[in-house]
Amino acid sequence: MSQAQDVTLTESPLGGPLPTGTGVTLGDGTAKQYRSLWSNAWRQFRMHRLAVAGLVVIVFITVACFVGTMIYPRGIDDIDFLMTSASPSSTYPFGTDALGQDILARILWGGRISLSVGFLSALVAISVGTLVGASAGFFGGATDGFLMRLTDLFICLPQLPLLLLISFLYREKVYRWADAQFGDGNIGIFLLIILVIAVLNWMSTARLVRAEFLRLKEKEFVEAARSIGARQTTLMFKHILPNVLSQIIVAATLSVGAAIITESTLSFLGLGFPSDVPTWGRMLFEAQSYFQFYPYQALFPGMVIFLTVLSINYIGDGLRDALDPRKTR
């Protein structure tokens, strides 16, 4: 039994939310409290302390990166020649790098890119995976056969080598194209990295969604919808998909973390963003040569990556529990 089935059972025939869990007193037949699936999930989620802590950390890091850069007095390119490779102090909370640039400012600025790459590539990967999985599971037959062979092929692709290769080979070309198109070549690199990570990471979602679609399309509620003449797209997206949504959300959360690590790995190997874009991985790459002498230059960006990914993984774990009605306490 999987949760999706239970979700359908908790739907009231009138379409409204059914009372669940402790909200109902079966004895006297009066329901005291009604909760929708989502508010129930939120209530469950709050009980997972580490997941809540993760959410707080992620919100903090995101706000710091996107709003903090506007408040923080120093830019990423401000060079202080008298303070190269300085240790943390009141002026430079995280110290400075080999060029005398403020590490905190660079972490905040780089966080925008690392987080955006993580979120966007997870979004693309999950969308592609859902679309492929849903079509394969729903239509079956030759469509299923073709899409699943394609998925198998992508699973066998040598991911890391291809990632390095594509990034290395097409970086300059994309940079020049974006420079001409948008006036900023780094936008091109940004799009390239998001796309490459997404293209190599949609397969597990596709398999998950397909399996659920295969199971759910035989259910009575789908048959009922079909019998009243619902169109195929309505069946797919309005009737079946919502039942798979909770699993997709969990997969999406976890793949944000994985995408952030992948981007950092790429940048760490010197094959991600160019040196004027300080993503977290890039900062580690640059700190690598002197970290024996100036450990702060590597520790701070590394810690931020670690904290971000750890928080995301805990959020994913919390969501998995919260969205699974079987675990309702």
Partner 1 sequence: MGRYLIRRVIISMITLVCISMVVFFILAAAPGDPLSGFGSNPNVPAELRQRLREQMGIDDPVPVRYARWATQYVQGNWGISYTTRSDARDYVLGRLPITLKVVGGAYLISLLIALPVGIISAVKQYSLFDQVATTFAFLGFSLPTFFTGILFILIFSVKLHWFPFIYDDTVKGFWPNLKQMIMPMMVLALASTGSLTRFVRASMLEVVGQDYVRTARAKGLRERSVLILHAARNALIPVVTIIAIEAPAVVGGAVVTEQIFRIPGIGSALVQGVNEGDVPVVMAISFGYAILVVIFNIIADILYATLDPRIKFS
- Nearest distance, CB of residue 31 and partner 1, angstroms: 31
The reply on whether position 156 binds partner 1 by CB under 8 A is: yes
Residue closer to partner 1 (CB basis): 173 or 231: 173
Instruction: Tell me how far apart the terminal alpha carbons of the chain are, to the nearest angstrom.
Output: 18
Answer yes or no whether residue 247 interacts with partner 1 by CB under 8 A: no
Q: Given the complex with partner 1, which of 9 and 160 has the nearer CB atom?
A: 160
Nearest to 324 by CA among 213, 236, 217, 249: 249
Residue showing tokens 């120093």: 74
Subset of 293-312 contacting partner 1 (CB under 8 A): 295, 298-299, 302, 305-306, 309-310
Among 58, 65, 108, 166, binds partner 1 (CB under 8 A): 166
Q: Does 85 bind partner 1 (CB under 8 A)?
A: no
Nearer to partner 1, 316 or 325 (CB): 316
Nearer to partner 1, 1 or 82 (CB): 1
Answer yes or no whether residue 265 interacts with partner 1 by CB under 8 A. yes
* Cα-trace Rg, the chain: 24
- State the minimum distance, in angstroms, from the CB of residue 170 to partner 1: 7
Does 45 bind partner 1 (CB under 8 A)? Our answer is: no
Per the CB < 8 A criterion, the answer to whether 290 and 314 are in contact is no
Single out the residue of 77, 78, 152, 184 in contact with partner 1 (rule: CB under 8 A). 152
Q: Does 60 bind partner 1 (CB under 8 A)?
A: no
CB contact at 8 A, 263 and 193? yes
| Closer residue to partner 1 in complex, CB, 230/310 | 310
Query: Cβ of residue 304: shortest distance to partner 1, in angstroms?
Result: 10
Give the tokens for residue 127. Answer: 């969308």
153 binds partner 1 (CB under 8 A): yes
Binding segment (CB under 8 A) for partner 1, from list 10-18, 28-36, 166-174, 233-241: 166-174
Q: Is 197 in the site for partner 1 (CB under 8 A)?
A: no
Question: Nearest to residue 104, comparing CAs of 93, 114, 113, 115?
Answer: 93
Token pair of 328, please?
Answer: 């309702």
Considering only 31, 160, 180, 224, the residue that binds partner 1 (CB under 8 A) is 160
Tell the smallest beta-carbon distance from residue 305 to partner 1 (Å): 6
Q: In the complex, what is the shortest distance from the CB of residue 311 to partner 1, in angstroms, rounded to a whole number?
A: 8
Out of 59, 155, 180, 224, name the contact with partner 1 by CB under 8 A: 155
* CA atoms of 300 and 313, how far apart (whole Å): 20
Closest approach of partner 1 to the CB of residue 149, in Å: 8
Sorted by sequence, the CB contacts under 8 Å of residue 30 that are 6+ apart come out as none
**For residues 31 and 25, is the Cβ–Cβ distance under 8 A?**
yes
Query: How far is the C-alpha of 190 from the C-alpha of 276, rounded, in Å?
Result: 13
Query: Which residue among 27, 73, 141, 161 contacts partner 1 (CB under 8 A)?
Result: 161
Residues that bind partner 1 (CB under 8 A): 152-153, 155-162, 164-166, 168-170, 172-173, 257, 261, 264-265, 268-271, 281, 284, 288, 291-292, 295, 298-299, 302, 305-306, 309-310, 313-314, 317
